[in-house]
Amino acid sequence: MSPRNLICSAAIAAILFFATKAPVGAAETPPEPYRIPLSAYAFKANAGDSIYGRDVDAGTLRISFSNLVPSWSYDISWHTSRTTSPELTIPDLGARELNDNPCQVLEGLANDLWHSRSEAEAGEHLGEVLSFEASGACGDATSKAKADAAVAATRWRTVIEAKIEPGSVLEIRVTRKNAQGVPESATFVIRGPEPSRFFQTYGFSYFRDHNEGFFTEKNPAGKFVIREKTRRSDWQPAGLLLINYRLGGPWTSSELGLNLAGALSFDGEEPAVGLGLNLTFANNIGLVAGLAMSRETRLRGQYRAGDAGSILDAGLESDQLVDKAPHTTWFVGLSLNLSSNPFKKKVEATTAPAAGSK
C-alpha cells in the first residue's frame, strides 16, 4: 500500500472511531428507580423484628418507595443521611356514592386512597385509581389532577442513590407512626454481590533461616580446618506476596477475616513458597504465619566442621563447602491489600431528587 493510501485509510478509521463515540460530556439517562413497595413489608415497633434483605448487582442503584399512606409522615434514614416526607394537605373529595358519574367515582377512589389506614390498603386503593384512570372513563382535567395528586402522594419523592460494590451493604430504615400513633419501622438491607474469595496482598515477613555458612581457616600445622560462620539472628527479612482465599464471608470493613494464604517470598537469593493462615481486617491489613519450603545450604556430606573435623590441604571457597537442598521453615509477617483502603469512609447516598421522580 502506498504512503498516500495508508494515510487516507488511517484518517478514515480515525473519523469513524470518533464518530461512533458519544460526545464528551453527553448526559446519560439515569436508570429508573428501584422501587420498594412498602405494602409488601410489615412495620414493627421493635426495629429488630422488621429487617428485610435484598441482593442486588454491582453498580449505581437508585431506590425509591411506593404504597405510602398519603396522610402519614415518613422518615427515611441511611448511613448518616436522613430525609422526611413533606407535609401534605388532604383535599376533601367527598364520599363515593353509587351511580355517580365517572369523574365522581374517580374522585371517590382518590378519596379512599388519601384516607388509607395502612400501606397494604394504600396499595389496593392505588391499584383501583390507576385502573380506573387507565379506562379513560373520566375526561375532566380537575378530577384527574386530584387523582394524580393522590397517586403521587404514595410515592417517595426523594430517590436514594448509592454505588453498590462487591461486598457493600446499604441499610435503609423507614420509620412512621401507625394509625394508633405508635412509632414503627422497617429496615431494608441492600447487599451487593459477594466479593471474590480470592484476593492478593503484599507484605514483609521474617523467615526462619536454616542456611549453614562455612569457611576454611589455616591451623598452626599449615593445614586448613572448616569453621561455621556465626549469625546475629536465625530470622531473616524478606518480601512477601500472598494469594488469599477467604474461609468465610463476605466480610465488611469492620470485621476480621481468616484466610488460607499461599505465600511466595523474595529474599534476594532463593525464593520460598509456603502455606499459612492470614488474619485480615477488611480483607486488607493482615497478620500471617505458616510453613514455607526453600532451598537452603548444608555442609557437604564429605566434610565435618570444627577442630575434630575435616583437615584440608588447601583452602576452599564457601560455595565449595556446601550443597543446596529443599527444607521447610517457619515464617511470620504483615500483609497489605494495595487495591483498597480499609479506612475509607462508606459511600454516602445522595438525597438529590431524580428528575421527574415522585
65: closest CA among 28, 39, 102, 37? 37
- Whether 320 and 268 map to the same domain: the answer is yes
- Whether 254 and 183 map to the same domain: the answer is no
At 344, the pLDDT band (50, 70, 90 cuts) reads low
Enter the C-alpha cell of residue 236.
Answer: 531473616
117: closest CA among 38, 176, 185, 179? 179
Residues 6 or more apart whose CB falls under 8 angstroms from that of 257 comprise 246, 247, 248, 249, 251, 279, 280, 281, 282, 283
Residue 171 lies in a domain: yes
How many whole angstroms separate alpha carbon 125 and alpha carbon 106? 11
Residue 230 lies in a domain: yes
The pLDDT of residue 148 is 93
- For 32-49, the pLDDT digits (tens) are 788 899 999 999 998 788
At 93, the pLDDT band (50, 70, 90 cuts) reads low
Residue 28 lies in a domain: no
The pLDDT of residue 19 is 46
User: What letters, b where the CB count within 10 A reaches 16 and e where it falls short, cover 22-56?
Assistant: eeeeeeeeeeebebbbbbebebeeeeeebeeeeeb
Residue 357 lies in a domain: no
- Whether 174 and 287 map to the same domain: the answer is no
| Average pLDDT of span 54-59 | 87
Answer with the one of 191, 218, 251 that is the final residue of a domain.
Answer: 191
Q: How many CA atoms lie within 13 A of 239 on its CB side?
A: 8
Tally of structural domains, the chain: 3
CATH of the domain at 72: 2.60.40
Share of the chain above pLDDT 70, in %: 79
Task: Tell me how far the alpha carbon of residue 4 is from its chain's centroid.
Answer: 52
Helix 102-114 and helix 141-152: axis angle, to 10°?
A: 20
Degrees, nearest 5: CA angle 294-295-300: 150
Q: Is the pLDDT of residue 79 over 90?
A: no
- Whether 186 and 262 map to the same domain: the answer is no
- Whether 182 and 38 map to the same domain: the answer is yes
Residue 354 lies in a domain: no
- Whether 169 and 106 map to the same domain: the answer is no
At 342, the pLDDT band (50, 70, 90 cuts) reads low
- Domain enclosing residue 131, as ranges: 102-152
At 255, the pLDDT band (50, 70, 90 cuts) reads confident
90-104, 171-185, 196-210, 211-225: which has the highest mean pLDDT?
A: 171-185
Residue 21 lies in a domain: no
Q: Is the pLDDT of residue 301 over 50?
A: yes
**Distances from the Cα of 350 to the Cα of 54, 80, 154, 164, 189, angstroms:** 20, 11, 21, 13, 17
Q: Is the pLDDT of residue 17 over 60?
A: no
78: closest CA among 193, 188, 194? 188
Hey, what long-range contacts does 299-307 have (CB within 8 A, 24 or more apart)?
A: 299/212, 299/214, 299/226, 299/228, 303/214, 303/226, 304/226, 305/214, 305/225, 305/226, 305/227, 305/228, 306/225, 306/226, 306/227, 306/228, 307/225
- Whether 218 and 282 map to the same domain: the answer is yes
- Whether 236 and 331 map to the same domain: the answer is yes
**Distances from the Cα of 21 to the Cα of 9, 14, 17, 247, 261, angstroms:** 19, 11, 7, 44, 44
- Whether 314 and 167 map to the same domain: the answer is no
Helices of type H across the chain? 3-20, 102-114, 119-135, 141-152, 318-321
The pLDDT of residue 349 is 44
- Which residue did the predictor score with more confidence, 34 or 109? 109
- Whether 272 and 242 map to the same domain: the answer is yes
The pLDDT of residue 352 is 42
| Average pLDDT of span 216-220 | 82
- Whether 184 and 266 map to the same domain: the answer is no
At 275, the pLDDT band (50, 70, 90 cuts) reads very high
pTM over 0.75: no
Residue 97 lies in a domain: no
Residue 247 lies in a domain: yes
- For 122-144, the pLDDT digits (tens) are 999 999 999 999 999 999 999 99
Q: How many CA atoms lie within 13 A of 183 on its CB side?
A: 6
- Whether 106 and 214 map to the same domain: the answer is no
How many whole angstroms separate alpha carbon 309 and alpha carbon 302? 10
At 298, the pLDDT band (50, 70, 90 cuts) reads confident
How many whole angstroms separate alpha carbon 93 and alpha carbon 114? 9
